[in-house]
Amino acid sequence: MRPVPTILHLDMDAFFASAEQASKPSLRGKPVVVGGLGPRGVVATASYEARVFGVHSAMSTAQARRLCPNAAYLTPRFSLYRQVSEAVMELLRELSPLVEPLSLDEAFVDLAAGPAPPATASAAREAGERLRTAIRARTSLTGSVGLAGSKMLAKMASEQAKPDGLVVIEPGTERELLAPMPVRVLPGVGPATAEQLRRAGIGTVEEMAGAGEAELVRLLGKAHGGSLYALATGRDDRPVVAERDSKSVSVEDTFDVDLHDRTRVYGEVMRLAGRCVTRLRAAGRSGRTVVLKVRRYDFSTLTRSETLRGPTDDPGVVREAAVRLLDGVDTTGGVRLLGVGVTGLADFTQEDLFAQAALEGTAPAAPAVRARTGPGGDEDAEAGTRPDRPGEAAGEGVAAAQAALAGDAGDVTGAREGSRRWHPGHDVRHAEYGTGWVQGSGLGRVTVRFEQPWSEPGRVRTFRAEDPALEPAAPPPLVRRDGGPEPGRSGGREPGPPGGQAPDPAVRPEPSRPGASSSPSGSSASSP
């Protein structure tokens, strides 16, 4: 163990929801829930104001609406979250080259590897406080910081510090701190391991340490038991690793309504394969094994995989492989989730010429490719035939998928407001009123609140969903970098009321242009 608490763990507070509140002045201090808004949506993050009502991450959005019906329910804006995350990670790398990101909003930092390693606990605390101040100045958001002599304890410290705090665990106090805690606080202790320990009369970390290493090895095996004994006694020598090598890249979508149309399913698989390759290329990687995940109407989940002749990042090759895998899956009962992934990652490509030729329709008949199942899946199936449509060639499935992807076989992305879909929370720009965000939509109308992070709470106006003056926009920065006029504002055309108070929703000003009104006429998807 280190004699100085030089392992720092940063966890941003309610990251997605806090970013939305910082971006939207009218939502500050109010409950905000970010996640999927459909019938099968799941909460990604809830603001602390929403957590008071019992809303939490991984809860179904339907249940969250029952607990907190007056919250603002917003669709995630990952472009904004990545922008903020990059700014935070840049600040962490100024402290030390050893930064281990765990997600967009969480990372470990080894201060001992930095240009000015702290020699005392008080110096480490000062570094943590400077970091929190810098994050607030750069992003206007808050983060909780934990400092300790190990990764496990630093993460525990940041949990204790939430929200917007800093906790230092002094080296030498680890066992005293851990003793009364339940065994589930230790990394590697899940429900099954905890139940096994409970049956042996072990419920706390102190009881685990008191049982001794030999007893834990007897109960859990040599590797698992030995590592848990070390953690129970406060020993954690895991280093901060700057580069974490990804083992796979994947994307998946859960659909509001089960998909029954086979052509629609093919189109969705093609779309997901394209998104997967986009992520693969963004990471500068290629992959050799294409994986298809299908969750059917009865919640049974099938996994199929095909290993190519070499690693690739060609979207056509990945799409062709994904479609071949889909040919071996019966989807007649309905599909609630689809996913496409690539594993066996590499830093080079070796194109599968057979797959490319098949996609272009120029290859001779190739041997059937076996589509293997994952654990619990069905038996292997020949990918050259369609078990649900006997006699239909796989190539026809490719053609149907390509047609669906091009829009020739119907809409493959779900119900829309005409040809445009407005997601609650997303940024828009109006030719006359400037920059704002979608507050809700429905019945052919879209309601927009015109405000920016540095403005007063803005006015609300409603437009036709097909209004040509309204278009999607990029998220504005959370903190202004200049002292000039606010971008996206039309000379103060829509100033907020004095004192920064939001306008009274009961007051309905006269529309200032044809097709626009100052109150929503459709059903709003959010309730700020």
72 SS3 class:
strand
One DSSP character per residue, 319-338 reads HHHHHHHHHTS--TT-EEEE
Report the predicted TM-score, pTM, of the whole model to 2 decimal places. 0.70
What tokens were used for 254?
């859960």
Q: Which residues pair with 74 in a beta bridge?
A: 34
The CA dihedral of 173, 176, 180, 186, to the nearest 10 degrees, is 50
246-284 pLDDT per residue, tens = 788 999 988 888 999 999 999 999 999 999 999 999 888
pLDDT band at 349 (very low <50, low <70, confident <90, very high): low
Q: Which of 20, 100, 106, 456 is catalytic?
A: 106
> Is pLDDT of 63 > 90?
yes
What pLDDT score was predicted for residue 254?
A: 86
Provide the b/e sequence for 23-44 (b: ≥16 CB within 10 Å).
bbbbbbebbbbbbbbbeebbbb
Residue type present at position 79? S
> Is pLDDT of 387 > 80?
no
19-57 pLDDT per residue, tens = 999 999 999 999 999 998 888 889 999 999 999 999 999
200-255 pLDDT per residue, tens = 999 999 999 999 999 999 999 988 999 999 999 988 888 999 876 678 899 998 88
Helix 213-220 / helix 191-199 crossing angle, nearest 10 deg: 120
Smallest CA-to-CA distance from 33 within 66, 67, 74, 76 is with: 74
113 SS3 class:
helix
State the average pLDDT over residues 85-114: 94
Q: What does DSSP say about strands 32-35 and 72-74: parallel, antiparallel, or unpaired?
A: parallel
What tokens were used for 299?
């919640």
Cβ atoms of 107 and 10 within 8 Å: the answer is yes
> Is pLDDT of 128 > 70?
yes
Give the CA distances from residue 433 to residues 131, 223, 279, 460, 462, in Å, rounded to whole numbers and listed in that order. Answer: 38, 63, 35, 11, 12
What pLDDT score was predicted for residue 38?
A: 84
pLDDT band at 155 (very low <50, low <70, confident <90, very high): very high
What pLDDT score was predicted for residue 350?
A: 57
State the average pLDDT over residues 400-428: 55
Lowest mean pLDDT among 24-28, 125-129, 341-345: 341-345
Lowest mean pLDDT among 85-89, 192-196, 309-313, 481-485: 481-485
466 included as an active-site residue: no
